[in-house]
């Protein structure tokens, strides 16, 4: 039997005595311990029933799932982190679509008492025009924005008729090849796109990928974009009720805590080859900018490297220079280095490790700059993205914080949020290139990419490679492999799409090709 040290430590942290923790952890994982009954605990530990019940209550209180408002939120975050770390997907039960609840939400947003809304509805009924309540509300909002508070019957009729005409013209005809039209509408202006870059204000060296390269990133479903960025918005007030979003100093502190700080950012690194040690010369101005102290740097380095960090110059409270010797874990080990000094290779390896060591900030957030919008609100724009970690910070407005990393959005917020992010990024990129593409075509692309519950690339490793048609897959890339695999398993192609019908030389079952004409002779 082997005592599980992790299980034992967890039990002791909960308040269980070491003797009983040792017995309970004997050849048992934590999942095995937490399901023990009071009788089993009494038998294992040799305790009376009341003492065993007390331990059982501890296991259920601290080891079980928490409930309540605060507990539930904490548990959710922990589970999300574990799932992300293990690469596991959480299976959730499907919920039935609540039609009545959906209609209640729609009706709640309608202002049916508005005179403009009522005038439009009456005009539509009089003209026998059928429009959705949401469309009536959108028309009402637009008219009100122009300073009107009422409509005459003639004006309402004119608006309703024009809205119906535009709605009818925008609808898709039966059997229209919407996929082909979408590809053409995006591909044609895509040939006119150039490499465009966006410069952050005050940071001329920072460029964000735009134009055609960004479009390719999106449709290829790249796990990490070439230039990941975030716009981090803050809540109006902090936990103490003080202004936050309009307080530049407070926002600057949050930005400093988000930005990754490495050793080379706050110190000059000198390698003493002859003496076989490394000296860190701390920069006071940089430490002040990063809101750090020399003692804090020393402590973080010691914990991360698991080495003894000696003060080379200055005091223990305010060190100016730090000395690090490879392989020295405690002060007493320094004497052994005179007899058995570290090798040159160990010295260089330690130097490289120290250079990239993250002392403060969020992983992957290389830079955080405070910006100010037109409303006088401060927000943080970053180079690098880590939506999950940033969202854990106090004061962050999670509803508005945004990243251009679509795969991060999918992992943290779900597939529907990723779908909307694809639309937003496509619209933003096309508008930046001054290209006008109907948003419905972008909706089509996003729907196809997310229809399977995860973001898929439009390519042979995604949408094109998973088509039901053998010939359609073979027409895209790696023709022989697709045909060979289909032949081995006896796969059948029903020729229902566009590409496969073109390949075999028969009309496509779309548009005019969807109509079949038959000649029926008259009976004599």
pLDDT values of the chain reduced to their tens digit, one per residue, 524 residues: 456 667 777 888 788 888 888 788 877 777 778 788 887 888 788 787 778 888 888 887 765 543 343 444 333 333 344 444 444 444 445 556 567 776 676 666 677 788 898 899 999 999 999 888 888 888 998 998 888 888 999 999 999 999 999 888 888 888 888 888 898 888 888 777 765 545 444 444 456 778 888 888 999 999 989 889 999 999 988 888 888 989 988 998 899 889 888 898 889 999 888 888 899 999 988 888 888 888 889 998 988 898 999 888 888 888 999 999 888 888 888 777 777 888 888 888 998 999 889 888 898 898 899 999 888 899 999 999 999 999 988 889 998 999 999 999 999 999 999 999 999 999 998 888 888 888 899 999 999 999 988 999 988 788 887 788 888 888 877 888 888 988 998 888 888 888 888 999 988 888 888 887 788 887 75
The answer on 334 and 270 residing in a single domain is yes
The answer on 501 and 485 residing in a single domain is yes
Cβ-contact 295, 316 below 8 angstroms: yes
Write the secondary structure of 130-180 as one string of H (helix), E (strand) and C (coil): CCCHHHHHHHHHHHHHCCCCCCCHHHHHHHHHHHHHHHHHHCCCCCCCHHH
Cα separation, 508 vs 502, in Å, equals 7
Which of 304, 330, 360 is where one domain is finished?
Answer: 360
Answer whether residue 478 is part of any domain: yes
- Of 373, 354, 344, the C-alpha closest to 306 is 354
Answer whether residue 350 is part of any domain: yes
- Of 248, 245, 249, 289, the C-alpha closest to 266 is 289
The answer on 190 and 153 residing in a single domain is no
Residues 6+ apart with CB under 8 A from 475: 499, 500, 503
The answer on 133 and 54 residing in a single domain is no
The domain spanning residue 506 has which CATH number? 1.10.150.390
- Of 321, 305, 301, the C-alpha closest to 313 is 321
Which of 134, 149, 170 is where one domain is finished?
Answer: 170
Please give the helix or strand (H or E) that residue 63 lies within, else none. helix 49-63
Answer whether residue 310 is part of any domain: yes
What is the span of the domain harbouring residue 55? 5-63
Q: Could you give the angle at the alpha carbon of 47 between the alpha carbons of 41 and 51, nearest 5°?
A: 85
- Of 455, 387, 389, 442, the C-alpha closest to 416 is 455
Which of 465, 481, 500 is where one domain is finished?
Answer: 465
The answer on 200 and 163 residing in a single domain is no
The answer on 352 and 297 residing in a single domain is yes
Answer whether residue 40 is part of any domain: yes
The answer on 298 and 322 residing in a single domain is yes
Quickly count helices (H) and strands (E) in the chain: 25, 12
Answer whether residue 137 is part of any domain: yes
The answer on 206 and 294 residing in a single domain is no
């Amino acid at each position: 039997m082997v005592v599980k040290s992790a299980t034992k430590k967890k039990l002791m942290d909960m308040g269980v005595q070491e003797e009983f923790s040792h017995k309970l952890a004997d050849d048992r994982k934590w999942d095995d311990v937490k399901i023990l009954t009071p009788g089993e605990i009494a038998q294992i530990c040799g305790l009376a029933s009341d003492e065993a019940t007390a331990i059982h209550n501890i296991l259920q209180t601290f080891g079980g799932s928490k409930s309540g408002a605060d507990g539930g939120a904490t548990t959710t975050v922990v589970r999300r982190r574990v799932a992300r770390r293990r690469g596991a997907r959480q299976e959730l039960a499907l919920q039935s679509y609540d039609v009545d609840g959906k209609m209640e939400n729609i009706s709640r947003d309608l202002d049916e008492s508005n005179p403009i809304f009522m005038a439009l509805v009456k005009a539509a009924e009089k003209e026998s025009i059928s429009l959705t309540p949401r469309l009536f509300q959108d028309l009402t909002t637009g008219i009100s924005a122009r300073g009107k508070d009422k409509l005459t019957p003639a004006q309402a009729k004119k608006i309703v008729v024009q809205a119906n005409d535009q709605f009818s013209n925008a609808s898709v005809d039966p059997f229209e090849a919407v996929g082909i039209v979408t590809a053409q509408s995006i591909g044609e202006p895509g040939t006119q796109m150039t490499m465009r870059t966006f410069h952050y204000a005050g940071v001329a060296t920072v460029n964000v990928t735009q134009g055609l390269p960004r479009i390719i990133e999106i449709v290829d479903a790249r796990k990490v974009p070439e230039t990941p960025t975030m716009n981090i918005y803050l809540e109006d007030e902090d936990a103490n009720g003080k202004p936050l979003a309009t307080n530049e100093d407070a926002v600057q502190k949050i930005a400093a805590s988000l930005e990754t700080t490495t050793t080379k950012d706050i110190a000059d690194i000198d390698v003493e080859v002859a003496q076989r040690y490394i000296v860190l010369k701390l920069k006071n101005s940089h430490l002040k900018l990063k809101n750090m102290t020399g003692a804090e740097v020393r402590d973080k380095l010691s914990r991360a490297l698991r080495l003894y960090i000696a003060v080379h110059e200055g005091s223990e409270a305010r060190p100016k220079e730090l000395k690090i010797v490879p392989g020295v874990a405690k002060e007493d080990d320094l004497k052994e280095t005179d007899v058995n000094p570290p090798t040159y290779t160990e010295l260089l390896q330690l130097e490289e490790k120290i250079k990239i060591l993250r002392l403060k900030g969020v992983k992957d957030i290389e830079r955080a700059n405070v910006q100010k919008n037109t409303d006088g609100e401060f927000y943080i724009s970053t180079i690098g993205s880590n939506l999950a970690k940033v969202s854990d910070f106090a004061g962050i407005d999670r509803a508005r914080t945004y990243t251009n990393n679509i795969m991060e959005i999918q992992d943290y917020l779900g597939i529907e949020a990723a779908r909307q992010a694809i639309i937003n990024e496509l619209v933003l990129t096309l508008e930046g290139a001054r290209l006008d593409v109907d948003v419905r075509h972008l909706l089509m692309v996003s729907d196809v990419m997310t229809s399977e519950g995860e973001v898929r690339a439009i390519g042979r490793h995604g949408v094109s490679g998973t088509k039901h048609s053998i010939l359609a897959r073979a027409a895209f890339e790696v023709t022989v492999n697709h045909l060979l695999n289909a032949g081995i398993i006896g796969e059948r192609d029903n020729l229902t799409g566009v590409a496969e019908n073109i390949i075999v030389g028969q009309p496509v079952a779309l548009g005019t090709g969807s109509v079949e004409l038959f000649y029926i002779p008259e009976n004599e």
